[in-house]
Amino acid sequence: MSMIEIKNLHKYFGDLEVLKGIDLKIEESDVVCLIGASGSGKSTLLRCINYLEKKTEGEIWIDGKPVDETEDGINKIRQEVGMVFQRFNLFPHMTVAENVMEGPVTVKNMDKTEARKLALDLLEKVGIADKADVYPEMLSGGQQQRVAIARSLAMEPKVILFDEPTSALDPELVGEVLKVMKDLAQEGMTMIVVTHEMGFAKEVADRVIFLHDGMIAEEGPPKEIFENPKHERLQAFLGEILA
């Protein structure tokens, strides 16, 4: 039973077909890196999985069940599928700890004391427990992204989707975020990561998927994808990225 199974996923924006029939299976504890040129549909694919975008056609199964596509069903699914954004999107009017507590308290009605304890544990885990009571604006980008990861972990999701989690960061801050993600991967979190960090993909991913023009053009273990790319677009893409 796959953690996520996508069958023949199509997505149109008006007349523009952005995803042209994606079939994808992701097993529990898999770390899958999604690569591809700008506009190839990487973000759209991630966003369809947690229904931030409404797919046009196809099926999405999560944890062995087809997603219940009612309002309530989608809210449930989003508790199981966390998302980390390129621009962090922390809530600026809440402290770091409150950001992390917000999901459990509002969505799961968790008691505040308990939620605070959970938040502090998670902040410890991502290495910024000492910043629990400051506001996000006081933090560096790398710290903010780690808070965002903790916020998503607080819902105890089965999968986390990462959409270019490090590409808004100054280069010297990328490492600390990748380290947290690597730790998560080692703990067995199922992750789909859109990234241009080929080092991370090589080291951490079980599988790399190359998206081209709304379709999966090539997929395989990182070693194969990076050392022996077959699709000419993938060769060109890697040439550009690694140049």
Ligand X SMILES: Nc1ncnc2c1ncn2[C@@H]1O[C@H](COP(=O)(O)OP(=O)(O)OP(=O)(O)O)[C@@H](O)[C@H]1O
- In the complex, the residues that contact another protein under the rule CB under 8 A are 50, 52, 71, 75-76, 78-79, 81-83, 85, 87, 89-95, 102-103, 106-107, 135-137, 148, 151-152, 155
Question: What distance in Å separates the CA atoms of residue 207 and residue 99, rounded to the nearest whole number?
Answer: 32
Closest approach of ligand X to the CB of residue 29, in Å: 25
Residue among 155 and 198 whose Cβ is closer to another protein: 155
Q: Is 40 in the site for Mg ion (CB under 5 A)?
A: no
- DSSP secondary-structure letter at 40? S
Hey, is 5 helix, strand or coil? strand
Binds 35, which of Mg ion, another protein, ligand X, none (CB < 5 to 8 A, cut-off by type)? none
Question: What distance in Å separates the CA atoms of residue 41 and residue 163, rounded to the nearest whole number?
Answer: 11
Q: Which two tokens stand for residue 157?
A: 């999701």
**Region near ligand X per CB under 6 A, out of 40-48, 90-98, 143-151, 176-184:** 40-48
Residue among 139 and 225 whose Cβ is closer to another protein: 139
Binds 87, which of ligand X, another protein, Mg ion, none (CB < 5 to 8 A, cut-off by type)? another protein
Closest approach of another protein to the CB of residue 175, in Å: 24
Hey, is 18 helix, strand or coil? strand
- The per-residue DSSP string of 56-101 comes to SEEEEEETTEE---SHHHHHHHHHHEEEE-TT----TTS-HHHHHH
Judged by CB under 6 A, the residue of 18, 83, 205, 234 near ligand X is 18
Question: What distance in Å separates the CA atoms of residue 239 and residue 243, rounded to the nearest whole number?
Answer: 6
Closest approach of another protein to the CB of residue 8, in Å: 24
Binds 64, which of Mg ion, another protein, ligand X, none (CB < 5 to 8 A, cut-off by type)? none
Residue among 40 and 99 whose Cβ is closer to ligand X: 40
In contact, 208 and 225? CB cutoff 8 Å: yes
Q: Is 39 in the site for ligand X (CB under 6 A)?
A: yes
Q: Which two tokens stand for residue 193?
A: 């990561």
Q: Is 11 exposed, middle or buried (0-12, 13-18, 19+ CB in 10 A)?
A: buried
Residue among 164 and 218 whose Cβ is closer to another protein: 164
Q: Is 40 in the site for ligand X (CB under 6 A)?
A: yes
Binds 41, which of Mg ion, ligand X, another protein, none (CB < 5 to 8 A, cut-off by type)? ligand X
- The per-residue DSSP string of 197-236 comes to -HHHHHHH-SEEEEEETTEEEEEE-HHHHHHS--SHHHHH
Judged by CB under 5 A, the residue of 40, 43, 166, 190 near Mg ion is 43
Binding region for ligand X (CB under 6 A): 13, 16, 18, 36, 38-44
